[in-house]
Amino acid sequence: MDKVMRMSSEKGVVIFTKSSCCLSYAVQVLFKDLGVSPKIHEIDKDPECREIEKALMRLGCSKPVPAVFIGGKLVGSTNEVMSMHLSSSLVPLVKPYLC
**What is the tens place of the pLDDT at every residue in 68-90?**
999 999 999 999 999 999 999 99
Average pLDDT over residues 23-38: 96
DSSP string for residues in 40-69:
EEEGGGSTTHHHHHHHHHHHT-SSSSSEEE
Farthest CA pair distance, the chain: 37
Express as a percent the part of the chain with pLDDT over 70.
100
Phi, psi of 89 (to 5 degrees): -100, -5
pLDDT tier at 1 (50, 70, 90 boundaries)?
Answer: confident
